Amino acid sequence: MTAQPVSLSSHKPVIEPFSAPYAPEDDVLVPALLKDVTFSAEANRRIDERAGGYIAAIRKEASGIGGVEDFLREYGLSTREGLALMVLAEALLRVPDAATQDKLIEDKLKQGRWSEHESSGDTWFVSASAWALGLSAKVIKPGETPEGVVAGLIKRMGLPTVRAATKQAMRFLGHHFVLGETIGEALKRARASEAKGYRHSFDMLGEGARTRADAKRYFKSYADAIDAIGKAAGKNPLPDRMGISVKLSALHPRYLATHSEQVLEELVPDVLALAQQAKSYDLNFTIDAEEADRLELSLDVIDLVFADPSLEGWDGFGLAIQAYQKRALQVIEHIDALAARLGRRMMVRLVKGAYWDTEVKRGQERGLPDYPVFTRKPATDASYLACAKRMLAARPRLFPQFATHNALTVATILEMAGGDKSGFEFQRLHGMGESLYKQITEKGEKIACRIYAPVGGYRDLLAYLVRRLLENGANSSFVSMVGDENVPIADLLVRPAQKLEDGRGYRNPSIPLPPQLYGPSRRNSAGLEFGDRKELAGLLTGIASVRRNVDAVPLIPGVTVLNQTERVASPVDGSQVGTVVPAGKEQAERAVEVARKGFAKWSRTPVEERAAALDRAGDLLEANRDRLMDLLSREAGKTLDDGIAEIREAVDFCRYYAAEARRQFGHDMVMPGPTGEDDRLRHRGRGVFVCISPWNFPLAIFLGQVTAALAAGNAVVAKPAEQTPLIAHEAVKLLHEAGVPQDAVLYVPGDGSVGAALTAHPAIGGVAFTGSTETAWAINRTLAAKNGPIVPLIAETGGLNAMVVDATALAEQVTDDVVTSAFRSAGQRCSALRILYLQEDVADSMLEMIEGAARELVLDDPALPSTDIGPIIDEAQRTMLAEHIEEMKKTQKVRFAGVAPKEGIFFAPHIVELDRPEALTREVFGPILHVVRWKARDLDKVFDSIAATGYGLTFGLHTRIEATVAKAVDRLDVGNIYVNRNIIGAVVGTQPFGGSGLSGTGPKAGGPTYLTRFALEQVVSVNTAAAGGNASLIAMGD
């Protein structure tokens, strides 16, 4: 049966929405946790005795057929084989064509020493896997050297046989991780465990939804599973009944904190309908835990669903809580308060957490002050025990479910439970922890254990498999060590407190805090977590409080410009953002003369003083974040996410070039030479640099060019794009405030004629330009026509940026990266994806998902958190895009056309399928994705086609085949190649940005060679023996 959804959109939560510090300091949290889980000597003795007995029993039973734990010990993540297996298992069974399967198998089996595992595996499962993979490896690559080149295939067997053997080995592996491909098969396999007293919670495998169709399919999958489980559940009362785990991100394609209103409106009724259905069968219904930035949103959904009167009288509703999250205890307090307010009982599954690597990376990428998770495993262990203690104390209002495979953790929880061993259960993963829980559920105290059982096809195994390997495959994990007889049992009984007293501190010293990501040379730019409601509210309040229009005038010392004031209108709604007084040709020439005088002083300013001014500029940008965010939104149409990213990039440019100036220009380079001579190489500024920047990054690219030139000792005349003069005006004023003299950086707004006058001036020392290839050509011709010093042109222009996707790629990952690359910032990035090459074997399904995801994007006022895409910069750009689509309709296939708001200058995402790549002859700067299909045998032709365009800015590749990556890197002269990720958002100092060919001159912005192009080199050679003797040589020891 399926209950009818009940809409709760108008209901308010019964308690205050959850909020807690997102990433607090470990040094404050961890001591409190340790104090909370301190035991007496007698209690510790009992824990040791119990846990030691479990471990001895596990080791005694560690023989026979084996299972996942043996497999993880044998093929840990620290081995090449383990990594190769993970990739192979993840990709092979979803690849539809034989040619790509063969390539993948060949690629991965070359990476391992499989024969070494055949004899070392203690169990039949490990040995059989090694045998199958070892056999395959030998077929593909005879010989003993794993790094050797493929010598040839064994003709008698050939790749088809190997393909079949390897796929069977992968299915064999999958069978141990997954209880069944269907819920019916899983229920059938679960009977044996149920007969031994185990309970089950079934997890329907799958990625989060990207489209409405995905969400509907997952909803049906859950509803069908609940029906099947309910009919098979028997007559026992809760908690001794089967259950299901539900992933909220599978039920909504935009399950993001920034889309919370939409999510609560649309998702809550669906989750309630499933919960009502589970209640009708009296099943356990658990909401799975997800990433940290979704925690508040998940709890909002849970608060509303759990409070619905239709669920009264049912004790089966529950959620999972992750102990590695620093907010775990506050989540327990929130849930306990919710249950108390409603007078109901809730099931709470406690897990360590399965997204740890993702959380660490996101914290670093987003520039957070700290991490939302603990970075040392013993700190997570301490948090787990503190949470367990709190949950046990909340019985019977909470029904704790302790998910662990660690014997010491189990023994500690049983000690904390005291004489009352009722009202809670343990949980283990299917295929893991069997020996441990045999001691607990079938012998000894006979405490209930529930098996968390994945259900789904092997194609859906990826996310689950990778998380399990990351959780349990690390060398330091209990699962990894418990079966190793070489590890003394006493080592497995060391408490978290003892491990944290090893002198390494409460946080992992090998994982720097996000602000210290780049070491002592510079501080990482500060970001913002949109999943923290207080942070987001503070941003919105801050922006509103500093909103004011800007009246921009040329900033040329001693020069007053009396030209007519022009209105600057917002592309969002046409409202006035400010005014600008444009300069003319005469003022442009005067600016260069003033800057020449400024250069004389600035170029002789010590490097440390110049660098310090740029560091101060970075700090001022962060201090004025809200003001700049407002301007970026209103003048340039930037979404909040893009606005934060742009300010951070500008800050990174300031700090990076300051650090590079210190490193490269802070001291003379001593050159090798004969004794009696001192030879040194030094750098100095070139003179006046003209910096001409585009409208699509009016702060970051503008300041990137300007700060590089300043760092190298040049004076700068900066001309912003006509469309965005206000942001540039404020940026230059901040540079002046930071200590850069007014005659060292001058602001000259105006149209193209102003830029032409500046580049034609005979006294300039160089030009930095970002914009169209055509304008770059014109500047180049202007510079070449002058009879004077030959000055550098540093140009970064456009590109026909491509991405190639083969059949080994994961559709959900491809969809995320394609949609981001093609449509974020309304496609108004020089790095944006313009042409997507999809292998024909997977093209239909991937295109369907990409189109579905594009359909979910919200076009609206960029100042709203829920907006995904803002406006096009001006009417001329919108007209150009519309004309291109009309032209494409005549000869190509427009597969998808989004709907744009009527107010403002918006252009919705479009997807155009081309019959051949040559049908796209130029860069189309906007949210239009062109798609071409290719055959598996034609990869070389695809690379030829990309190279033939003459552009070389960014390129993306989605594949699990490393040989394909190597081929792309070798074949394509492209500035930035991105593999298995999106192709936009190059990070200063991490992914130096710039292209070749028609895409630019180099060197790369934000890279180690960029500053030298802004500088002249000078060698000073001194004969130190000129006074009549070589004192240093004579004084040298014998």
Just list the catalytic residues: 796, 830
Tokens representing 176 are: 């141990």
Give the SS3 label for residue 305.
helix
Q: Which helix (H) or strand (E) holds 351?
A: strand 346-351
Rg (CA), the chain: 32
- Are the C-beta atoms of residues 327 and 393 closer than 8 Å to each other? no
CA dist., res. 520 & res. 802, Å (int) = 37
- Reading phi first (left if > 0) and then psi (alpha if -120 to 50, else beta), residue 750 is in left
Q: Which residues pair with 764 in a beta bridge?
A: 688
Contacts of 680 (CB under 8 A, 6+ apart): 668, 669, 670, 671, 1019, 1020, 1021
CA-angle at 246, arms to 240 and 248, nearest 5°: 150
Give Cβ neighbours of residue 313 (< 8 Å, ≥ 6 apart): none
- In which residue are the tokens 């040989």 written? 963
Name the nearest CA neighbour of 399 among 319, 342, 334.
Answer: 319
Give how far the C-alpha of residue 560 lies from the chain's centroid of Cα atoms, to the nearest Å.
48
Q: Assess contact for 437 and 409: CB atoms under 8 A.
A: no
Distance CA 875, CA 172 (A): 59
Angle at the Cα of 73 from the Cα atoms of 70 and 78, rounded to 5 degrees: 155
SS3 635: helix
Amino acid symbol at 276: Q
**How far, CA to CA in Å, does 277 sit from each of 203, 316, 748?**
16, 11, 67
Q: How far apart are CA 81 and CA 73, in angstroms?
A: 12
Tell me the one-letter amino acid at 939.
L
Token pair for 622: 């962060």
Dihedral Cα 264, 270, 274, 275, nearest 10 deg:
30
CB count within 10 Å of CB 156 equals 7
Peptide bond between residue 21 and the one before it cis (omega within 30 degrees of 0):
no
| Structural contact between residues 261 and 10, judged by C-beta atoms closer than 8 angstroms | no
Q: Which of 673, 672, 710 is nearest to 691 (CA)?
A: 710
